[in-house]
Amino acid sequence: MATETSKCNGNSNDGVMIAGVSDALWNGGAACGTKYRVSYVRGANQAPRPCREGSVVVTVVDFCSKGCNGIINLSLDAFSRIADPDAGKVVVRYDQA
pTM more than 0.75: yes
pLDDT surpasses 70 at 3: no
Average predicted confidence (pLDDT) for the chain: 87
**Which domain does 57 fall in, by range?**
18-96
11-28 pLDDT tens trace:
888 899 999 999 999 999
Question: How far is the first Cα of the chain from the last one, in angstroms, to the nearest whole number?
Answer: 26
d(CA 21, CA 69): 9
Instruction: Look at residue 13 and tell me if it is in a domain.
Output: no
Provide the number of structural domains found in the chain: 1
pLDDT at 29 over 70: yes
The pLDDT of residue 43 is 83
Whether 5 is in a domain gets the answer no
- Is the pLDDT at 1 greater than 60, yes or no? no
Residue 69 lies in a domain: yes
Residue with the larger pLDDT of the pair 86 and 56: 56
38 inside domain: yes
Q: What is the pLDDT of residue 87?
A: 81
Residues 6+ apart with CB under 8 A from 44: 87, 88, 89, 90, 91
Amino acid 19: pLDDT: 95
Taking residues 67-73, report their average pLDDT: 83
Pair 89, 44: CB distance under 8 Å? yes
91 within domain boundaries: yes
Cβ atoms 89, 70 nearer than 8 A: yes
The answer to the question of residue 6 being in a domain is no
The CATH number given to whatever domain includes residue 84 is 2.40.40.10
